[in-house]
Structure 1
Amino acid sequence: MDRHLKEGDFLIGMKFPVDFLTNVSQAELEVSAHVYMNNLLYVNTDCPEQIILSDSTKVSVDISRVGYVPLYGSGDKKSILALFSPADPLAAVALYLLGKWWTVDNILKTSDLARDGIIEVTTIGERIVLYVLNRVIYRVREMNSEEDLPFLCHGGKDYAKICWCNGGAVGFYSVKPSGSLYNCFSTKRYQLPVMDSIFVRKCHRGDGFGLQMLKNFVLSFQHDSVGLRYPLTKAMYKMCEKYLCQYPEYTDLLWEVEGVGGLNQRFNIAKRSQTMDLRAFSCAAPHP
């Protein structure tokens, strides 16, 4: 990539990280990043490399703004190299992937026309897209600190799907499948599939992507009952209400779940939504 390429630019035939990071290992990314960091120590600081963001902000690449971030949470040793904003030292604006800096917005793009719809996360490139959607787009840019709760980092083997549309990632959801461990400190296992996070970018809300992901979740597991992690927002209740309006025969399908979802830890969403005034809430807001 040209060192001054803006994040909104698109080149014909250009591949984005999710397109070429299909058969690449985490170790290869880390080796490339370590080599770059070693070389950065000897770069002429009078003429630094610059990344140009979509608002025309230029971010110089120097050792004081570059650092490693854990891809799968603080307890995991796997990491990627990030460039941070001068205005916010906790906000990553670009990631270093196999010899190039990629702005976070370009990381969410694809040139693969077949990458469309709701697709399961399997490759390291898709894991990085999931990381950016969760930890950068939602947590740094779009989370309302007064209303929303942060998601935990998704683990390297967590079941998750990304929603793609018109060459970009617009949202994701993740699931704890039935039978999976509640956490690494417990021997308890989930009693039913539980959607533990769902997110649609603000610029794509109101277009039905949240409802599409809910339908995909139900169809992917085909259980008599599926759960959504407690506490549900009113926006999530409204989305469930829309689903139940389309499929009124499934009033016993959706449950709000605490813990592993035992019989005394689940609450019927159809019944609860009848007691709420949901008219003022938009669908597909973040759900912890």
Structure 2
Amino acid sequence: QLQLFEDEHPACTVLALHPPHDQTQLALYLHKKWWPLDDVLQTSSESRSGLQPVQSIMERLIVFLLSQVVEGPGSHGEVSFSLHPPTETCKVLWKDGQAVGFYTIKHKRLCDSWSSRCYLLPVLDTVLVRRRCRRRGFGLQILHDFCSSFSSEEFLGVSSPLSSGMVAIRKFLQQHEEHRVRLYEVEAPGGWNQRRNIWLNI
């Protein structure tokens, strides 16, 4: 059984089959039949193109598979992803009928479940692009979408520490001078003593 959310809330699990010691070769039991992993990460819907908000349990499952299974937690020296709480906004990036990545947002005034501290600005928390789809501009697309989604906010955050895979931030800020004073690397909950301007520290 795969547990989709942290703290088992809401309770939501999916049955999966995989060879011993290899969870990358999965079959999932959905809608009363078994599906290969690659089929679950595909869509025939023409409306699923570009960055689309996650709204259903099935879309949450896709985020789970991308972060916990497809790329493999901690593989290739990369950071392991935590399970995403249902309170976080998430968008999946679709390209040519395939889910190629996603990003999550901690919204302003969203309270941390551990410390009860509330975020003081919107924060880009998690970004993942599948390894085989990198170096194709998807990171820039995600950053542009995030900044555009909060055009009325004076300041925006990116969770600290910045991943080594987030080199797209430098390129993005080189191309978009208007965002250089807006984007900060932040620690929760994002007070001024917990922010560092990204452009000034590149």
TM bracket, shorter-chain basis? over 0.9
Deviation at 1:268, TM superposition (A): 0.5
1:169 aligned onto 2:99:
yes
Matched, 1:196 2:111: no
Alignment match of 2:15 (pick from 60, 78, 81):
81
Q: Which runs of 5+ in 2 are unaligned?
A: none
Please name the residue that 2:60 is paired with.
127
Count the aligned residue pairs: 200
Q: CA deviation at 1:87?
A: 4.4
Q: What secondary structure, in the 3-state scheme, does the structure 2 residue paired with 1:139 have?
A: coil
Could you tell me which residue of structure 2 aligns to residue 181 of structure 1?
111
Amino acid at match of 1:148: E
Aligned to 1:213: 142
Q: What are the residue-to-residue correspondences of 1:114-153 with 2, within 5 Å?
A: 114-140=47-73, 143-144=75-76, 147-153=77-83
Distance 1:93 1:149 in 2: 22
Q: Tell me the secondary structure at the aligned position of residue 130 of structure 1.
A: helix
Q: Which residue of 2 aligns with 1:71?
A: 4
Q: 1:246 aligns with which of 175, 178, 181?
A: 175
Deviations 1:87-123 (A, max 9, x none): 42x5561110111111111111000112101000001
Q: CA deviation at 1:199?
A: 0.5
Amino acid at match of 1:240: I
Choose the corresponding residue for 2:35, options 102, 123, 126: 102
CA distance in 1, matches of 2:96, 2:176: 28
2:157 to 203, 224, 227: 227
In the alignment, which residue of structure 2 is the partner of 1:156?
A: 86
Matching of residue 268 in structure 1 with residue 201 in structure 2: no
**Hey, what's the Cα distance between the residues in 2 that align with 1:103 and 1:153?**
22
Letter in 1 for 2:68: R
- Superposed displacement of residue 245, structure 1: 1.5
Percentage of pairs with the same residue: 37
**Residues 164-198 of structure 1, C-alpha deviations (whole Å, 9 max, x = no match):** 0100000000010011012x232210011111100
